[in-house]
Amino acid sequence: MTKETISSSPSIKPLLYLNVHVALIAWGFLLSAARWRGIDPAPALQLLVFCAALAVYGLDRTGGFSPEDRRNAPDRCAWLTRHRALQTAVILLALLGLLLALTRVSTHTRLTATAYVLFAAAYARPLLPGKKRLQDFPRLKLPCIVLGWALLPALNPDLFSLPWTLYRVLWLIPNVLWSEWLDHPGDHQTDRPAPPLRASLLLLAATLLYGLHIQAGPDLPAPALYTLALLLIAPRRPLTFARCQDLLLLTVLLM
DSSP for the chain, please give it: --SS-----GGGHHHHHTTHHHHHHHHHHHHHHHHHHT----HHHHHHHHHHHHHHHHHHTSTT--TTHHHH-HHHHHHHHHTHHHHHHHHHHHHHHHHHHHTTS-HHHHHHHHHHHHHHHHHHS--BTTTB-GGGSHHHHHHHHHHHHHTGGGGSTTT--HHHHHHHHHHHHHHHHHHHHHHHHHHHSS------HHHHHHHHHHHHHHHHHTT-GGGTHHHHHHHHHHHHHTTT-HHHHHHHHHHHHHHHHT-
Domain limits of the chain? Answer: 10-253
What are the tens digits of pLDDT across the range 5-52? 444 455 677 888 899 999 999 999 899 889 888 899 999 999 999 999
What are the tens digits of pLDDT across the range 104-158? 999 999 999 999 988 988 887 778 888 888 888 878 888 999 999 999 999 999 9
Q: Please give the share of the chain, as a percent, with pLDDT higher than 90.
A: 49
